[in-house]
Amino acid sequence: MPLLVVGDKVPSQLNNNLLSHLDIPQIIYHFAASEKHPNPHKEIYLMGSTGKWVYGMITKEKEYLFIDNAPGTILSKMVSLNPEDVKIEFQGRLDMFNGLYKK
């Protein structure tokens, strides 16, 4: 996601690291208070808000895969990734989240 940070003491630079919206607070602290810049991710998992159960993965190598879970259809891909492996990893993350927050 493009992010533009402007300020009197902000040097001009370009960062192509794979970051997500969850990194925005640390990015802001980096520029505002000289905090460490967030580490890049190897991959990020995304879940759509389209009313469908669409999920996907983007890697730092610019590969991506998006799946519609209901029919199991691959919606878009530019990868050598295995869709079944992505599904298993994504489900594992959901199970971990559910285990942490289920009451």
pLDDT for the residue 34: 78
Structural domain boundaries in the chain: 1-41, 43-101
* More confident position, 101 or 103: 101
How many CA atoms are closer than 13 Å to the CA of 13, on its beta-carbon side? 10
β 73-78/43-47 pair status? unpaired
The string of pLDDT tens digits covering residues 21-71 is 888 888 888 888 878 888 999 999 888 876 778 888 999 998 898 888 777
The string of pLDDT tens digits covering residues 3-14 is 777 888 777 878
pLDDT for the residue 22: 86
Contact assessment for residue 61 and residue 78, using Cβ atoms and an 8 Å cutoff: no
Residues 6+ apart with CB under 8 A from 17: 38, 39, 40, 60
- φ/ψ region of 34 (left if φ > 0, alpha if ψ in -120 to 50, else beta) reads left
